[in-house]
Amino acid sequence: MTEQNPIDSPTTLPGWHMPWPSFEVDWKKSALIVIDMQNYGCNPDAGVAQMLSLRYPEIAGYYVPRLMDTVIPAPSAS
């Protein structure tokens, strides 16, 4: 059995400045569905990523690779 990374949470990412869900999530029954990606949220050279890089580089160091390696390639993985 492969070891899984811990679930992202205020405990595992204490410096995160974006909002967290205000409800409990059952991660074993959850999936990420991306409906409409916008340039503002997923272009590493603009929008959210650029703001994070300038103001919160430690968060950008997590956000941008996670976005580019996990979220965006998902459609081609199926």
Using only the alpha carbons of the chain, give its radius of gyration: 14
pLDDT at residue number 54:
92
pLDDT category of residue 42 using cuts at 50, 70 and 90: confident
> How many angstroms separate the CA atoms of 15 and 26, rounded?
23
Distance of alpha carbon 62 from alpha carbon 26, whole angstroms: 23
How many whole angstroms separate alpha carbon 38 and alpha carbon 29? 26
Task: Say whether pLDDT at 4 is over 80.
Answer: no
Q: Give the whole-angstrom CA distance, residue 21 versus residue 25.
A: 8
> Between residues 72 and 49, which one has the greater pLDDT?
49
Find the angle CA(39)-CA(25)-CA(59) to the nearest 5 degrees.
Answer: 45
Q: What is the pLDDT of residues 5-20, one digit of tens each?
A: 666 777 887 887 778 8
